[in-house]
Amino acid sequence: MANFVPVRKEQHQNLKLASKRDLAHIAGQHIVSLTAAEYAQASASYPVLLVKNPNSPRYRSVAMLGLESGENLYYKDEKWSGLSLPQSVGMAPFALGLDPDKENTLTACVDIDSDLVAEDKELALFDADGKETELLTNVQNSLGRLYENEKMTENFIKELEENELLQELELNIDFNNGEKKKLTGIFTVNEDKVKALADDKVLDFHKRGLFVPIYAMLGSLGQINRLVQLRNQTGNAQITSIQIAPLAQEEIKEETAES
């Protein structure tokens, strides 16, 4: 588990960041957070989806990296095979968190238990005079951009919800050993409903650039086949077929009742 604490000169003047950073911290993650600003680029590598816990009303925007929990098909032998790296992943071991000294204020935090930081690493966060280094300033600026992109993504998802443009999908997976799996709780845009939008709504969406992430999401569904290819290269049980289908409304009701 990560142990994030606010970056403070008093406690972290001698803390340094490793010059060589790896992605071992996401080796076992099958989804990672993604902002709408990244959809167009990410859609060339990963399925871009929304996920939601049945017990929560909140959707989370993600890139799908595997077909089951604990499976990251894009990170192998310490190498990343995606054409892009989600911004949230590249920020490790840093994140935004609440400043305990300032009410309702976000501040840069660092995971002090991460293998990427220690006093014997190479890249300083503070100089000998206790001033922030250019590295730390760049980290803070990047965290700020990530926060703004996350807020924009929340607004984008809200637009999809308010205009009833979301649909839940189910993935039905067949393996060569006879095993079958069904994945639910994943959402994309309903293309038919997008096409049926009123003209004034289409113009509004166009002016605000909402069609860019919408069609990036839809186009990214083809990357599920890429997940199958990567999975079948692992030597584990081979996937013989995968079907993607909208989850019928009655099935949604049944699942909700059972959960």
Residues in the chain, how many? 259
Q: Supply the pLDDT for residue 250.
A: 44
Q: Supply the pLDDT for residue 80.
A: 93
pLDDT tens digit string along 138-194?
999 999 999 999 999 999 999 999 999 999 999 999 999 999 999 989 999 999 999
Q: Are strands 60-64 and 48-51 parallel, antiparallel or unpaired?
A: antiparallel
Query: Would the pLDDT of 79 be above 80?
Result: yes
Alpha carbon 139 to its chain's center: 19
DSSP state of 163: T
Q: Which of 58-62, 67-71, 162-166 has the lowest mean pLDDT?
A: 67-71
CA distances to 83, 135, 151 from 209, rounded to whole Å, are: 23, 33, 16
CA distances to 17, 52, 155, 238 from 110, rounded to whole Å, are: 10, 27, 27, 40
Query: Would the pLDDT of 73 be above 80?
Result: yes
Residue with tokens 């220690």: 118
The amino acid at residue 216 is A
Q: Are strands 16-17 and 123-124 parallel, antiparallel or unpaired?
A: antiparallel
Give the SS3 label for residue 215.
helix
pLDDT band at 254 (very low <50, low <70, confident <90, very high): very low
Angle between helices 199-207 and 211-220 (to 10 degrees): 90
pLDDT band at 258 (very low <50, low <70, confident <90, very high): very low
Neighbour tally for 128: CB within 10 Å: 7
Query: Would the pLDDT of 224 be above 80?
Result: yes
Mean pLDDT for the chain overall:
90
Query: Would the pLDDT of 97 be above 70?
Result: yes
pTM score, two decimals? 0.86
Q: What burial class does residue 109 get, using C-beta atoms within 10 Å of its C-beta: 0-12 exposed, 13-18 middle, 19+ buried?
A: buried
Max Cα–Cα distance, the chain, nearest Å: 65
Which of 155 and 56 is assigned the larger pLDDT? Answer: 155
Q: Supply the pLDDT for residue 107.
A: 93
